[in-house]
């Protein structure tokens, strides 16, 4: 670990109270640990948003499997990008709905574009892409 530097932060009391509740709810031992994680998360998100290099991430989608040929469309897209799909997980949530998680690794622009394509496919109820970078 590199040298730690202490610095002061001024917060409105209401915001500090909310932050303390957050720290407690997330099981942080102290505010510093929580602040470090929040700062890292913000920096990683910003880096991934602007990145055109290698990233990794997960694409989570939920869809109704009764939707006409939707599963086939989603699978076809995945086969087109097989070189960036490391793994998939398919869960039957109930009689109608499926949850699918794709673990992706590769060029950020391609991952963002394909994820948007999958999320916007007619019949996908919800989708979210979460990116990270090992050099963050």
Q: Average pLDDT in the 49-62 region?
A: 87
When pLDDT is cut at 50, 70 and 90, the band that residue 89 belongs to is: very high
- Specify the CATH number for the domain of residue 93: 3.30.70.1150
Task: Look at the chain and report how many structural domains it folds into.
Answer: 2
| pLDDT of residue 136 exceeding 60 | no
Structure tokens at 110: 């391609």
DSSP-assigned states of every residue in 81-129: TTTTEEEEEEEE-SSSEEEEEEEEEEEHHHHHHHHHHHHTSTTEEEEEE
User: Are 117 and 61 within one domain?
Assistant: yes
Domain shared by 110 and 58, yes or no:
yes
Angle (CA) 95 101 102, round 5°: 140
Q: Give strand pairing partners of 91.
A: 99
The answer on 113 and 87 residing in a single domain is: yes
- pLDDT digits over 105-129, tens only? 999 889 999 999 999 999 999 999 9
Tell me what pLDDT residue 25 has. Answer: 96
The whole-chain average pLDDT of the chain stands at: 91
pLDDT at 38 > cutoff 80: yes
Range of the domain at 19: 13-50
């Amino acid at each position: 670990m590199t040298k730690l530097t202490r610095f002061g932060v001024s917060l409105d009391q209401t915001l500090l109270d909310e932050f303390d509740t957050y720290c407690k709810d997330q099981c942080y031992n102290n505010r510093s640990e929580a602040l470090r994680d929040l700062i890292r998360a913000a920096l990683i998100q910003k880096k991934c948003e602007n990145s055109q290099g290698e990233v990794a991430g997960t694409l989570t989608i939920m869809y109704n499997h009764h939707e006409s040929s939707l599963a086939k469309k989603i699978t076809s897209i995945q086969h087109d990008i097989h070189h960036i799909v490391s793994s998939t997980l398919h869960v039957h949530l109930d009689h109608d709905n499926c949850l699918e998680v794709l673990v992706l690794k590769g060029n950020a622009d391609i991952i963002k574009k394909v994820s948007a394509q999958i999320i916007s496919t007619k019949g996908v109820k919800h989708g979210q892409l979460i990116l990270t970078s090992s050099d963050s």
